[in-house]
């Protein structure tokens, strides 16, 4: 095993501190902490990926600017209010959040990344937040990962954290993180957020490369309702305290690092899907044999986002006809008469037509809480995987608002 | 008024006969007629549009071939079985359906269009169907529109028919049709079918032009779940018995014809949406001010297909944040800070931020059974409209299978 799981989440790596505080941003009366702070007293390199939604929340715009300056020492994030669709005033507020954290920690504002998740189109109670953030240096510590993970929860039902430890050049390196879910609950628009830290020695360019690859294989592969939020953000900090030789792309050491990072991001992504609103089933959709990667992706995403297919899964109905239908309108290159579809490896469709597998066998697969749909287009060598869920009555109830 | 509505549906135009018979194709025990036959004893010209899904049912493939031969004299359609994903045997079966109707009516098989809707991946009971179709010449007549409309129903709760009458060159011209819904119910995969007839004198090329334009503005603008069926088919027959001068594109007479046709297709499309499975609200999504038609379309379709937006409508929640979010990921060119959004003309979002309209005003709009969302992107002059619905708990229950 090239890595082992350890406790500690976003503070598992040496030198990182985290914690939370209650400010009262959420409309509900719950006195749950709603601001998280992560801090590195040491110099760091930073990498990040942000939502591709053209409507970008103010904190995303501010963090994008701060990403360029490097040596980020803190991440401040709030739940309960997304600071999205708030115009120039919202940008000003996001900057003030960063300044508040910078002032508290003795940093410059551009050394602070800022994130928000929650309700859209409502001004943040910034004065109250500045006061709360000002008190936070005394609550952050080396054991604060879980508290930070809890503070960024919106409709999440459990805090999401994981960390791993591995060896590079005989040095022990740690890498971990926290995340919150992509499910959205009205009138809030929640968001996928993930904060990752490592004590590996790695430069900014190499870290961004590793993170981008990892996000593409994990957070970008999950879909609950096909909607992308205005606030989605993944930030990773590396402080170099492990003392390994600088990681360089193409080396065995880099591969070890990448595998550990992928394990962390994939597991956080899986937790997000499993904690999706009203989710009763976790489904992996694999497309193999596509002519191009783009075809594989189109096919997998069409199946994973098909409302009808997801309703059928909720009901425990294999309904491969809806999968064939989704493939047909996906835009992927295909030949109906060569398509094979498998449910947990059991063939359901062979050459575009029903296989001889008894329907009851397929029903058994779809009755499970987790199963895999494998689609072989038999046209080429490209493949793509999407992690998705069913669409339940509770999903509609949770999302129908007041 | 350039046209007036008249009764008669697909048999309102002179010379067309229609009717239905019970064959027992559906798995359920209901002894409702399940085969429809439409017949023109006179020569016709034919136009048609078919599903763009790459997985095309056998009857679609056969009808596509018969479309080329012209002088179509009959349409035979069954409900209960889609004859899709049935391979070469399915093609053979679809041909035998056409032959059965041709034999019964003294036609050649290529003069018969064939349609199927219902369950996927199951062979049609073709011997039984041949016997039933053989008896149908005695049940088709000038009053058979409604019976034909009822025979093609799957999850539809009401038969859909409409016809209009108008004057061209002092001659009375009639145009009408029937349709069935796009809603899908497990384990069936239902389909949008529409059959249209007119007694106008028009050549094949002009008829195809008028039909393609009309379908683009009606059936192609409706979306219940974003899924496209493998069997969607619209067929139009013109027998020329009205005796007008041949209609030519660009003339006032052609415009009159087009308007009448558009009225018929738009109304059939509206009936399909209103009869969608578990639908409680009918919503028009208008996008104005887009830079290009393609941008307008992307924006309107993203909003109309957003699971989260549709759940909010079901709950009577205006939730314009979800509309902004859908616009953001639609791929349409936009500038967040100039977007305006209106609910039945009442401004909700102004310049990308919440307007001063009280939330209760917007709630009143969304509480209605029908309302319009207008989105002004303020970047150009292109506009596009989609007709859609909410996403209800009953939709999930109806589509979750056994």
- CB-based contact B90:B84 (threshold 8 Å): yes
- pLDDT class of B182 with cuts at 50, 70, 90: low
- Note the pLDDT of residue B29: 57
Chain B residues touching A341 at Cβ < 8 A:
none
User: Is pLDDT of B183 > 70?
Assistant: no
- pLDDT class of A1 with cuts at 50, 70, 90: low
- pLDDT class of B335 with cuts at 50, 70, 90: very high
pTM of the predicted model, to two decimals? Answer: 0.83
Q: Which of A90-94, A277-281, B102-106, B296-300 has the lowest mean pLDDT?
A: A277-281
- In terms of Cα–Cα distance, which of B156, B121, B143, B122 is closest to B34? B156
User: Is pLDDT of B131 > 60?
Assistant: yes
How many other CB atoms are found less than 10 A from the CB of residue A344?
16
CB pair distance less than 8 Å for A396 and B392: yes
- Note the pLDDT of residue A31: 80
From the candidates B336, B339, B362, B379, which should be mutated to test the interface with A, based on the most A CB atoms within 10 A?
Answer: B336
Quote the minimal CA–CA distance from B36 to chain A in Å: 24
- Position with higher pLDDT, A97 vs A280: A97
For A173-184, write each residue's pLDDT tens digit: 999 999 998 654
- Note the pLDDT of residue A29: 57
- Note the pLDDT of residue A187: 33
CB pair distance less than 8 Å for B55 and A324: yes
Chain A residues touching B329 at Cβ < 8 A:
52-54, 227-228
- Note the pLDDT of residue A183: 57
- Note the pLDDT of residue B317: 92
Chain B residues touching A189 at Cβ < 8 A:
321-322, 325
Mean pLDDT of chain B: 92
Q: Which of B191, B230, B309, B388 is catalytic?
A: B191
**B4-274 to CATH, choices 1.10.730.10, 3.30.70.3270, 3.60.20.10, 3.60.70.12:** 3.60.70.12
Quote the minimal CA–CA distance from B390 to chain A in Å: 10
User: Is pLDDT of B359 > 70?
Assistant: yes
Chain A residues touching B230 at Cβ < 8 A:
324-325, 328
- Scanning the structure block, which residue is given the tokens 């609200």? B281
Distance CA B244, CA B252 (A): 13
Residues 6+ apart with CB under 8 A from B131: none
CB pair distance less than 8 Å for B317 and A400: yes
Residue of B nearest to A120 (CA): B321
Q: Which of A44, A51, A117, A191 is catalytic?
A: A191
How many other CB atoms are found less than 10 A from the CB of residue A243?
15
Q: Report the complex ipTM.
A: 0.81
Give the mean model confidence (pLDDT) for residues B59-63.
Answer: 97
Residue B4 is among the residues annotated as catalytic for this protein: no
- Note the pLDDT of residue A307: 85
Chain B residues touching A227 at Cβ < 8 A:
306-308, 322, 325-326, 329
Give the mean model confidence (pLDDT) for residues A200-216.
Answer: 96
- Note the pLDDT of residue B278: 81
Give the mean model confidence (pLDDT) for residues A79-93.
Answer: 94
- Note the pLDDT of residue B172: 98
For A182-204, write each residue's pLDDT tens digit: 654 333 345 789 999 999 999 99
- Position with higher pLDDT, A185 vs A392: A392
For B208-260, write each residue's pLDDT tens digit: 999 999 998 888 888 666 666 788 899 999 999 999 999 999 999 999 999 99
CB pair distance less than 8 Å for A225 and B307: yes
- Note the pLDDT of residue B363: 96
Residue of A nearest to B83 (CA): A353
Quote the minimal CA–CA distance from B277 to chain A in Å: 11
Of A186, A326, A395, the CB nearest to B319: A186
Q: String of b and e for A146-176 (b: at least 16 CB within 10 Å)?
A: bbbbbbbbbbbeebbbbbbbbebeebebbbb
Quote the minimal CA–CA distance from B220 to chain A in Å: 14
Chain A residues touching B328 at Cβ < 8 A:
53-56, 228, 230
- Note the pLDDT of residue B181: 83
- pLDDT class of B287 with cuts at 50, 70, 90: very high
Whether the domain at A4-274 and the domain at A282-399 fall into the same CATH topology: no
- CB-based contact A109:A99 (threshold 8 Å): yes
- pLDDT class of B401 with cuts at 50, 70, 90: low
- pLDDT class of B30 with cuts at 50, 70, 90: low
- Note the pLDDT of residue A118: 86
Mean pLDDT of chain A: 92
- Note the pLDDT of residue A227: 64
Domain boundaries, chain B: 4-274, 282-399
Give the mean model confidence (pLDDT) for residues A125-154.
Answer: 97
Burial of A6 (0-12, 13-18, 19+ CB in 10 A): middle
Distance CA A39, CA A140 (A): 8
Region A282-399: CATH code: 3.10.20.340
Chain A residues touching B229 at Cβ < 8 A:
325
Of A84, A329, A391, the CB nearest to B53: A329
CB pair distance less than 8 Å for A87 and B352: yes
Of B229, B317, B321, the CB nearest to A402: B317
User: Is pLDDT of A218 > 80?
Assistant: yes
Q: To the nearest whole percent, how much of chain B has pLDDT over 90?
A: 76
Distance CA B378, CA B290 (A): 7
- Of A19-33, A307-321, B211-225, the range with the highest mean pLDDT is A307-321
User: Is pLDDT of B337 > 60?
Assistant: yes
- Note the pLDDT of residue B118: 86
């Amino acid at each position: 095993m090239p890595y082992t799981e350890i406790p500690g989440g976003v503070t598992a790596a040496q030198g990182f501190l985290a914690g939370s505080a209650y400010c009262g941003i959420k409309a509900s009366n719950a006195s749950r902490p709603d601001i998280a702070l992560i801090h590195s007293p040491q110099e760091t390199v930073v990498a990040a990926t942000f939502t591709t939604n053209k409507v970008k929340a103010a904190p995303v715009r501010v963090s994008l600017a701060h990403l360029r300056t490097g040596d980020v020492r803190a991440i401040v994030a709030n739940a309960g209010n997304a600071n999205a669709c708030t115009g120039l005033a919202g940008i000003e507020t996001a900057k003030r959040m960063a300044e508040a954290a910078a002032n508290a920690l003795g940093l410059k504002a551009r050394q602070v990344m800022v994130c928000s998740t929650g309700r859209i189109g409502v001004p943040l109670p910034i004065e109250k937040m500045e006061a709360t953030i000002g008190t936070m240096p005394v609550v952050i510590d080396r054991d604060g990962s879980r508290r930070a993970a809890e503070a960024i929860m919106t409709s999440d039902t459990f805090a999401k954290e994981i960390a791993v430890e591995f060896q590079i050049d005989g040095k022990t390196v740690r890498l971990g993180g926290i995340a919150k879910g992509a499910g959205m609950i009205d009138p809030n628009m929640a968001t996928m957020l993930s904060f990752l830290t490592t004590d590996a020695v790695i430069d900014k360019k190499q870290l961004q490369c590793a993170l981008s690859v990892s996000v593409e294989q994990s957070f970008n592969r999950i879909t609950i309702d096909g909607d992308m939020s205005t606030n989605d953000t993944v930030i990773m900090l590396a402080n170099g305290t492990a003392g390994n030789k600088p990681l360089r792309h193409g080396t065995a050491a880099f591969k070890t690092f990448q595998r550990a990072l992928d394990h962390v991001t994939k597991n956080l992504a899986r937790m997000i899907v499993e904690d999706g609103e009203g989710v009763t089933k976790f489904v992996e959709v694999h497309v193999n044999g596509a002519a191009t990667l783009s075809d594989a992706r189109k096919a997998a995403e069409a199946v994973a986002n098909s409302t009808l297919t997801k309703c059928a899964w909720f009901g425990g109905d294999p309904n491969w006809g809806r999968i064939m239908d989704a493939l047909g309108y996906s835009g992927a290159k295909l030949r109906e008469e060569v398509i094979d579809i498998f449910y947990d490896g059991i063939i359901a469709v062979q050459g575009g037509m029903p296989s001889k597998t008894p329907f009851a066998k397929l029903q058994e697969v779809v009755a499970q809480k987790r199963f895999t749909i494998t689609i072989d287009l038999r046209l080429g060598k490209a493949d793509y995987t999407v992690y998705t869920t069913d669409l339940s009555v509770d999903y509609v109830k949770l999302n129908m608002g007041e």
